């Protein structure tokens, strides 16, 4: 079957879909490159709802293949005790404050930027995520796949064999992702457990 439009140059529907897939793959790679795309969490550390939502957004971002660089909070909402507690909860992310910026009488953005703390400036200028676990990592020797999923519990995750054991289908919240397995790790899932913020899946031939 061929497309009817002259712009398609007589290409088949399959070729058109393949072309669209390649475009989407390039777009996806751009978002996954932490040097070209930055992603941050924003929360109110005095609100458990806000903190838990930020943790889940972090997990959702990881499930989509994105690496979050850090987290921010409005300093007017946070006590020292709350700040320390959230820094531990969001580890290894850097957590920093943002100053209050009045908007009723106009905003002096130059002044607002100059008032940023040193830790906030360092975080905003950070161009890599080397200290943050990758969304998916493989350990061929141990035959394990590590899914970094902060904010979620094991009971919220569905894991399925896919394509005859050559891939895993992981469903978290309302997101689904197919993860291809290296040849040396293809087989059946023999177990899964959480270690910190990471779901560790063990494979067997």
Element of type H or E holding 84:
helix 80-89
Task: Kindly tell me if the per-residue pLDDT of 27 is higher than 60.
Answer: yes
Which carries the bigger pLDDT value, residue 93 or residue 36?
93
| DSSP code for 97 | E
Q: What is the per-residue pLDDT across 159-171, written as a single tens digit (0 to 9) for each? A: 988 877 889 999 9
User: How many beta carbons lie within 10 A of that of residue 159, not counting itself?
Assistant: 18
Sign of CA dihedral 150, 151, 154, 160: negative
Q: Which residue's entry shows tokens 């676990």?
A: 133
Q: 27-31, 49-53, 161-165, 171-175 — which is least confidently predicted?
A: 27-31
pLDDT per residue as tens digits for the range 79-127: 777 778 888 889 999 898 888 777 766 777 788 788 888 888 888 887 7
Residue 47: CB atoms within 10 A of its CB come to 13
Q: Domain locations in the chain?
A: 33-125, 136-204
Largest CA distance in the chain: 66
Q: What is the pTM of this model?
A: 0.75
Q: Which pLDDT score, from 0 to 100, does residue 5 have?
A: 46
CB 29 within 8 A of CB 36: no
The strand pairing partners of 177, in sequence order, are 170
Q: What single-letter DSSP state applies at residue 12?
A: B
* Fold of domain 136-204: Immunoglobulin-like (2.60.40)
């Amino acid at each position: 079957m061929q497309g009817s439009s002259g712009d398609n140059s007589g290409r088949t529907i399959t070729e058109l879909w393949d072309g669209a897939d390649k475009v989407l793959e390039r777009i996806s790679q751009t978002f996954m490159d932490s040097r070209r795309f930055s992603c941050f969490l924003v929360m109110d550390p005095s609100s458990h709802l806000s903190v838990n939502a930020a943790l889940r957004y972090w997990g959702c971002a990881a499930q989509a293949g994105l690496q979050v660089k850090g987290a921010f909070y409005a300093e007017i909402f946070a006590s020292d005790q709350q700040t320390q507690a959230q820094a531990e909860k969001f580890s290894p992310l850097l957590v920093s404050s943002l100053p209050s910026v009045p908007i009723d009488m106009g905003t002096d953005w130059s002044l607002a930027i100059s008032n940023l703390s040193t830790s906030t400036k360092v975080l905003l200028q950070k161009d890599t995520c080397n200290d943050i676990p990758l969304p998916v990592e493989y350990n061929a020797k141990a035959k394990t796949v590590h899914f970094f999923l902060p904010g979620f519990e094991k009971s919220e995750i569905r894991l399925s064999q896919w394509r005859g054991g050559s891939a895993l289908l992981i469903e978290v919240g309302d997101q689904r992702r197919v993860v291809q397995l290296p040849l040396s790790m293809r087989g059946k899932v023999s177990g899964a457990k959480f270690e910190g913020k990471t779901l560790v899946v063990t494979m067997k031939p």
